[in-house]
Amino acid sequence: MDGAPDTQPTRADAQREAVIRVRGLTNRFGPQVVHENLDLDVWRGEVLGVVGGSGTGKSVLLRSIVGLNKPAAGSIEVLGVDVLHGSDADRRRIEKSWGVAFQYGALFSSLTVLQNVMAPMREHLKLSKGLMRALGELKISLVGLPLSSCNKFPSELSGGMRKRAALARALALDPEIVFLDEPTAGLDPIGAAAYDDLIGELQRALGLTVFMVTHDLDSLYAICDRVAVLAEKRVLVEGPIEKMATVDHPWVQEYFTGPRARAASNKGRGS
């Protein structure tokens, strides 16, 4: 490769709507530079898989976009709102347009599943308790959890159920964008495949845009429309997963052409 990031816009790109636009992003933690001049667009209605080696800042990028990490430089727009410099009113408005499911759920341990799902509603909406409860139960059913789980605490749930409960909370405000941080980490292959199927079904049914940080090759092949590879402190390459095997970069080659990648590719094609 010549070292230039493969993120130049094409004619097809011009016909799409970028719901997330990151430009010139730099993230530093002390002397460590995690991102430098990183650019990325996320298109409306797509499932984008963000991958990269350990320490490339996949979760840091997600946290920067949703405002949990303040970058050293750059700009981030979500649905046309300047996330870094917008007004408090703009910030509150845009926060209702996304939902986040973190790697280990990040559920409030002292609240039941239903109370966790209702928490964003209490913060952002002026609804009666009865209506919030009904909406919360709807979201819990939507992610495939039985209503008997509503009154359980996170400690009483399996790992897979906690992930689904976290997803129900992420969907609480009917967001346009859902951020998922390593959604299948820690799940057995059957549970991971079921979760992938759930994300795909919800994305299609609700018209979601999904930003998914993952290392799971099965997920990439099963549900992602496009992949963005983080390396060398930036988005090294982005595009359909079939494109990745042609990228002349050691990590990309090892990741996307190894035996696990071949097995995931065959599984994704249904062979």
Reading across the β-sheet that carries 81-82, which strands appear in turn?
A: 32-43, 18-29, 73-78, 81-82
pLDDT of residue 13: 53
Contact criterion met (CB below 8 Å) for 202 and 208: yes
Task: Average the pLDDT over each of 9-18, 106-115, 164-173, 204-213 and give the range with the smallest value.
Answer: 9-18
- Give the pLDDT mean for 57-71: 94
Q: Which residues contact 8 (CB under 8 A, 6 or more apart)?
A: none
120-149 pLDDT, tens digit per residue, is: 999 888 899 999 999 999 999 999 999 999
pLDDT of residue 88: 84
DSSP 60-116: HHHHHHTTSS--SEEEEEETTEETTT--HHHHHHHHTTEEEE-TT----TTS-HHHH
- Grouping H, G, I as helix, E, B as strand and the rest as coil, residue 213 is strand
What the chain holds in terms of domains, given with CATH numbers, is 13-97+175-268 (3.40.50.300), 107-170 (no CATH)
Q: Model pTM?
A: 0.88
Contact criterion met (CB below 8 Å) for 47 and 227: no
Closest CA to 142 of 186, 99, 185: 99
Check residues 5 and 48 and name the one with the higher pLDDT. 48
Backbone angles phi, psi at 179, to 5 degrees: -105, 130
